[in-house]
Homo-oligomer: A and B are copies of this chain.
Amino acid sequence: MNAEIIACGTELLLGQNINTNATYISNSLSRIGLDVFRHLTVGDNKERFSSAIKEALSRSNIVITTGGLGPTVDDITMGTLASVIKKDLVFNKKIYKYIKDSFKKSAFKVPKDAIKQALIPRGADWIENKVGTAPGLIIKHEKKYLIALPGPPRELNPMFEKDIIPFLKKIQPQKWIIKSRSLRLIGLPEAKVNEKVKDLLELSGHTTLGIYTHLGQVELKITSKAHSEKSADSNIKKLEGRIRKRVKDLIYGANKETLQEAVGNILAKKKKRLAVAESCTGGLISNLMTDVSGSSKYFVTGVVAYSNEIKVNRLNVPKELIKKHGAVSKEVAKSMADNIRALANADIGIGVTGIAGPTGQTKKKPIGLVYIALSTKSKKIVKEFRFQGKREEVKLQAAQQALNLLRLNI
Contacts and interface: CB of A to CB of B under 8 A. Distances in A.
A24 B386 CA distance: 31
A23 B28 contact: no
Interface residues of A, number: 110
Contact of A392 (B20, B39, B291): B291
Interface stretch (A87-95, A119-127, A188-196, A374-382): A188-196
Main secondary structure of the interface of A (DSSP, over half): mixed
Contacts of A171: none
Given A15-B27, A283-B287, A389-B131, A305 B310 contact: no
B30 A114 contact: no
A211 B111 contact: no
Contact of A23 (B19, B191, B192, B304): B19
Nearest to A215: B154
A306 B344 CA distance: 12
Number of copies: 2
Contacts of A70: 190
Given A13-B35, A105-B388, 18 more contacts: A13-B36, A14-B178, A18-B19, A72-B201, A73-B202, A111-B195, A113-B194, A113-B195, A152-B213, A281-B287, A283-B286, A283-B289, A283-B290, A291-B392, A299-B306, A301-B305, A301-B306, A303-B304
Interface of A: 7, 10-20, 22-30, 35-43, 48, 52, 70-74, 102-103, 105-108, 111-114, 131, 133, 152, 154, 178, 180, 189-192, 194-195, 198, 201-202, 210-213, 215, 221, 223, 276, 281-287, 289-291, 293-296, 299-307, 309-310, 314, 343-345, 356-359, 386, 388-389, 391-393, 395
